[in-house]
Structure 1
Amino acid sequence: MPSDFFDFWECCTNINKEKPEEALLKAGLTLVGPYDVLTGKLKKIKERKVSHYVCHWRYYYDPPEFMTVIAGDKDEFHIGYYRDDPFHLPCFVASMSTVKQGQIIPLGENIFAGVCSYLKQRMKEENPFKKAPLQRLYKEVESFAKKNDYSLLSVTKHMKKRNKKVVAKTFHGNLKKMLQKVVDSKTEDEQMKNFDAIQEIITNVQFAFDEGDSGTGIELGLNLFTFGGEVFHKPLLHLLSVGYDLLERDPFIDILQAHLRNRRRGSQMSILDPDS
């Protein structure tokens, strides 16, 4: 994990010594995921398998590249780290929610920037009475970040540099219509017929794989994943597994396999017992 992950824990400890994970509760945020290692909560798991751990606080639309570290209290809002490569440090911190289903919204280069971005937005929306505690939280997080030289910019120089390398934004409108037709099919025969158009694209992607092109397959695989629906699980698993394998990003395959076996909708994504 990056250094800001641990420094943010220290910041939260300064705010709430007894329960640092609840330091941001007045803003509707709770530290979760890998922070549950620091709280000791994950020690309570009886069946300790990697496939369980990688699904801890993994929301329905979280791709393998995304790791949740903060959970919100509504709209399945959550903040996490985004990695291009599982062996590298995160590229940025982002948020996801059901308001913009499956959309990853970059908030900054580190968790301090991510939380401050969220708090600023919340302060704009709240009335004066609810705004005061949010302002106090913001000042404490901002002060700690500045003392430790963390940028609070929502878009940094490194993020701009990465954006220039982005080949394509996922999800074309016509593809969405094709996927919707598959989901809306009334019978199995109709579904198979509507899936023919998708299968044709997958066949073309396979030719790209044979040429060593991983990008096309990963793009289509993530599109199927983001659209949602169990009917797409098998093809997206194939596409992303081959794509990640070509890029030597095997841990993403393990995460995806575990997630698809236990892909759930909702806001309570902990693998812990609710009473833990």
Structure 2
Amino acid sequence: MTVLLGTSIPVGQADAAFASAGRTPAAAATQRPSEGSVHSWDLSTGVDGPGTRFVTFLSGCPLTCLYCHNPDTMRMRNGKRTSADDVIAEARKYTRFISASGGGATVSGGEPLLQPVFAGELLHRMKNDLGLHTALDTSGFLGARATDALLRDVDLVLLDIKSWDRATYRKVTGRPLEPTLDFARRLADLGKEVHLRFVLVPGLTDAAENVEGVAAFADGLGNVSRVDVLPFHKLGEAKWDALGMPFTLHDTPSPTAGQVAAAKAVFAARGLTAV
């Protein structure tokens, strides 16, 4: 894993420039390589989309999830200003291996849509220059920043719905749920494949009506091909401590195998593939 630490790059001015010129991120990518704040990149299997994947972790996130296992990605300043050329050059080294595994490339974070121009260029070039299957890993909170052009370069969206209960969602993330639901509906209208991800936290998100709410919503979309029920863990607690940030779920246990199985059963009862 290559970890990049340093300064960050603001993206608001770039977004405005592309919008005023009537250009999409993908179109802009053909004219001038962009730069963004990159935390790290890595090769992973099984958790960031199908097959072995080259995963680019962008820095910065508008959410402050209580159980975040990478709190060091929350702030853009914790990343390094990196060009899309550099990221693509690194990914190119592994394309033969990735393709043989049926894998691809995932743009993750942090929250990649905090840097939509940069994320859009990475997705466009991963797909069109390297011929890789592409995935966008997002909370959906900034889904309005994803242009249709950006989404055309996305084969799969890994969408986190952290709670159906609005008060719980805000407690977990510090943000409202509705923007994520709006983005999910838009993806459904576009027929974009979604893997929905739900973190099961005992005493927080595991209430039966909460799980059922997420399941009913996912079932109604029609484009959710898989649901990942992710057991809460505390593997990122040391990072919170190192950053001087209070980890408020210190005393929260991980769910039992039975609790995870029960949650999966709720999704399965809706005809959804839950893993």
Q: Structure 1 length as normaliser, TM-score? A: 0.26
- Greater strand content: 2
- Highest CA radius of gyration, 1 or 2? 1
- By relative contact order (CA 8 Å, sep 6+), the higher-ranking structure is 1
